[in-house]
Amino acid sequence: MTADNEAPLSRAQRKAELEARIEQQRVDILVAANRWHSASESIDSGWHALMRFKVPLYALGGVLMLGIGKNHSRLIRYGRRATASALMFNRLRRLLS
């Protein structure tokens, strides 16, 4: 605030300085929130698209679990296939980009 050789700031000057600092921090927070919102916009839109199909996905999952629940080895086999497919998809996506 002040150097050693300067006179101390008056109370009004110090108050104005602190208010200016607070106002700048508010502006910085608003800018950061706007950047965060624009950066997460694609994730949010994907999440909302997924939530539109929430009930049908639950129903489909229930039907699948009825068939798979009787034979656990099938569940493990399908899980391995799904994992391998997801990993292969990610590698292909990275390779082609």
pLDDT tens-digit readout, 40-90:
999 999 989 989 999 998 999 888 888 777 777 877 888 899 999 999 999
**Contacts of residue 2, Cβ cutoff 8 Å, sequence gap at least 6:** 8, 9
User: What predicted TM-score, i.e. pTM, was given to this entire model?
Assistant: 0.46
Report whether pLDDT(2) > 80. Answer: no
Query: Which pair of structure tokens corresponds to residue 13?
Result: 């000057």
CA distances from 3 to 8, 19, 20, 66 (A): 9, 21, 20, 76
Q: What is the pLDDT of residues 19-47, one digit of tens each?
A: 999 999 999 999 999 999 999 999 999 98
Integer Cα distance of 92 and 81 in angstroms: 16
Please tell me the predicted confidence (pLDDT) of residue 31: 98
Sign of CA pseudo-dihedral 5, 10, 14, 17: negative
Report whether pLDDT(1) > 70. Answer: no
